[in-house]
Amino acid sequence: MSITITHPALEPGQAGGLRTSNRLVVAPMTRVSAAPDGTPTPEMAEYYAEFARGGFGLVITEGIYTDTVYSQGYLNQPGLVSERHVSAWREATADVHEAGGSIVAQLMHAGALSQGNPYRDDTAGPSAVVPQGVKMPEYGGHGPWAAPKEMSLDDIRQAVDGFVASAANAKRAGFDGVEVHAANGYLLDQFLTDYTNLREDSYGGPVAARVRLAAEVVAAIRAEVGPDWSVGVRVSQTKVNDFRYRWPGGAHDAEVIFAALTEAGASYLHVASEGRNWLDSAQLDRGLTVTGLARRVSGLPVIANGGMHHAELSAQVLADGHADLVSVARAALVNPDLPRRLAEGRALDSFDHAMLSPMVTLDNVRRWRLAAGADA
């Protein structure tokens, strides 16, 4: 006898103008499995469609690079800057739609955290500040980061134009929207972060100026794609190379950031936890949570991230008004049918880091699954 579970994440959701069959979202996860020229492969299309077949209402892609200058962060990262890219992504979006899901393209400019860019050897960021930590071997990097060049105003305009052009390409490729990657230490977050942005022009200084570039990107995309298409924004306090960072102004900074992105035309806000549990990363001063504050300030749908595969936690986050949707990353890799399992009361398989070792490629996932099947 089958069991049907009632859970708020299984109810229909909405990410701006995009209506979803439920509130379960696949979080963006870098896969570095595209062709060398950034063209998505048939294997990638199957990878995304599997989540839709498993019941996820919305799939957000890995970060997609947006220009042929400074934006690419990793070798074999997919792009949205050529007709070949658009054509290949069209196959992926069609497969997801056929499986009953929706799919959003995350648009990413790596900035100073680029560790593999065939278009050029140097990097660029808000200021000539060497990033903390070292490059990530699971994404094909090794050794210390290089000092980026400080971006000129022309460089900034070129970056904005790349976001806009790639958003237009995403729309032509059949995506249901885009998500502007302003999180995790990449370019837009580098402008937002006080110690990587030492500029003395209108893009540096107080938080209202440091968020300016992210807001300009959102506004420019909105002007290009029209009022109804979904344009989300992902933000975070922590970064891939700094898990301890917090917005120095706490709730005040959060309010300024959320208000600016809302005014710019964002459809939804996606608050990332960078591999940490929501309970550990969402707390602000005055007893607030960053996701709850995002909802209150913006009035937009908010996606919470961080341990949301735990049914009790995701139920609490949704029922108590901390967020409108929840995104799942690594647990979705090992449980691409997580929504169906949740609805049927079935246990989830545990994540095994071997799935991502030595690199976070789809080839490694395939080998892991074959080995797991052999061991079963």
Amino acid 376: pLDDT: 43
The fold of the 8-372 domain, in CATH, is TIM Barrel (3.20.20)
Cβ-count burial 177-187 (b if 16+ within 10 Å, e if not): bbbbbbbbbbb
Question: How many CB atoms within 10 Å of residue 313?
Answer: 17
Domain map of the chain by residue range?
Answer: 8-372
Amino acid 3: pLDDT: 57
Give strand pairing partners of 234: 181, 270
Amino acid 372: pLDDT: 82
Cα–Cα separations (whole angstroms), residue 28 to 1, 63, 107, 126: 35, 7, 10, 24
One digit per residue, the tens of pLDDT, for the chain of length 376 reads 455 668 999 999 999 889 999 999 999 999 999 999 999 999 999 999 999 999 999 999 999 999 999 999 999 999 999 999 999 999 999 999 999 999 999 999 999 999 999 999 999 999 999 999 999 999 999 999 999 999 999 999 999 999 999 999 999 999 999 999 999 999 999 999 999 999 999 999 999 999 999 999 999 999 999 999 999 999 999 999 999 999 999 999 999 999 999 999 999 999 998 777 888 788 887 778 999 999 999 999 999 999 999 999 999 999 999 999 999 999 999 999 999 999 999 999 999 999 998 999 999 999 998 888 755 4
| Distance from C-alpha of 267 to C-alpha of 262, rounded to nearest angstrom | 8
Say whether 34 sits in a helix, a strand or coil.
coil
Amino acid 374: pLDDT: 54
Is 245 noted as a catalytic residue in this protein? no
Catalytic residue among 65, 186, 203, 268: 186
Question: How many CB atoms within 10 Å of residue 163?
Answer: 28
Owner of token pair 């648009």: 107
Q: Quick one: DSSP state of residue 4?
A: -
Q: Does the pTM exceed 0.85?
A: yes
179 phi and psi, to 5 degrees? Answer: -125, 120
Amino acid 194: pLDDT: 98
Give 137-141 contacts, CB < 8 A, sequence gap 24+. Answer: 137/358, 137/359, 138/356, 138/357, 138/358, 138/359, 138/360, 139/30, 139/32, 139/73, 139/74, 139/115, 139/359, 139/360, 140/32, 140/74, 140/75, 140/76, 140/115, 140/116, 140/359, 141/74, 141/115, 141/116
Amino acid 283: pLDDT: 84
226 burial level (CB within 10 Å; 0-12, 13-18, 19+):
exposed
